[in-house]
Structure 1
Amino acid sequence: MGLTTLAIYIANPGNSRKRRRVECLVDSGAVFSLIDGKKLRELGIRPNREEEFFFANGERVVRKIGNALFFFQGRESASPVIFGEAGDSNLLGSVTLESLQFVLDPFRRELRPLKMMLAGMNRCGEVM
């Protein structure tokens, strides 16, 4: 299976007019998106916490996380973002994809609109 890359725009939630174009690998197996930390800092995006992550080989790393605005095909959404370091590739993860209401079609290697489901329970406890 091939890789899916695309261009998105990112911005600081406090100043959405100043944007940067970023090429990302779509990785629906990644929870959070990962963007070059230098680009995030240039936009004034600051980390608000650190988290532990693991590579496929089991190696443990700690990365900073902040929040960014993501723009793609006329849609805009805030999402957590990992501050990438030297050697890291820009990734578009599942939380960002879903917040933008897209899903990766693995066969066509393209993003498709996500059908949003709204479920609730009636007074009898039945799912509607």
Structure 2
Amino acid sequence: MPHDMGTFRVDVEIENPARPGERRALKSVLVDTGAELSWVPAEILESLGVERNNKWRFRQADGTILERWTGGVSVYVVGKRAADEVVFGEPGDLVLLGSRTLEGLNFRIEPVTKQLVDAGPAPAAAAA
């Protein structure tokens, strides 16, 4: 299967907000704007004491339905931090940086250079 030329990878750190300062590094995480949530190996999240909060259902491209737990973490990428809910990935699941995390970090993808760049000012409601 040919590698998708539109994909790229970044290094990520994960932290349990209840245990500040204790982080786990994830090298070469696939940036996937088609995935809403970021997926992190369950053993990483468990080693940080992240609680399983919600069970989500996901539909794979072949129609298969998966159920996975999610939990709240701080995600660090390229010097920025965002609080987000991530998926407890099981063996065989891809490790992904999803669109919701990218939005929380205020990043957009520069397709030519395959880099994350600042998305610029976020929309805001006008003051009354």
- 1:87 Cα shift? 0.2
Distance 1:122 1:75 in 2: 27
Q: What percent of counterpart residues are identical?
A: 34
| Pick aligned residue for 1:89 from 78, 94, 97 | 94
1:28 and 2:71 are equivalent in the alignment: no
Structure 1 residues 119 and 78: CA distance shift in structure 2, 3 A = closer
Which string of whole-angstrom CA distances, capped at 9 and with x for unpartnered residues, describes residues 65-98 of structure 1? 1111011222111101000001011100011111
* Ranges in structure 1 where 5+ consecutive residues have no aligned partner: 124-128
Counterpart of 1:16 (choices 13, 20, 24) is: 20
| Bigger mean CA offset, 111-120 vs 70-79 | 111-120
Which amino acid is 1:18 matched to?
E
Q: Which runs of 5+ in 2 are unaligned?
A: none
> Which AA in structure 2 matches 1:83?
F
> Which one has the largest radius of gyration?
1
- Once superposed, which parts of structure 1, at least 4 consecutive aligned residues long, lie more than 3 Å away? none
What's the counterpart of residue 47 of structure 2?
42
> Which residue pairs with 1:59 in the alignment?
64
Give the RMSD, CA atoms, in angstroms. 1.5
- The number of residue pairs the alignment matches comes to 123
TM-score, normalisation: structure 2: 0.89
Distance 2:72 2:111 in 1: 27
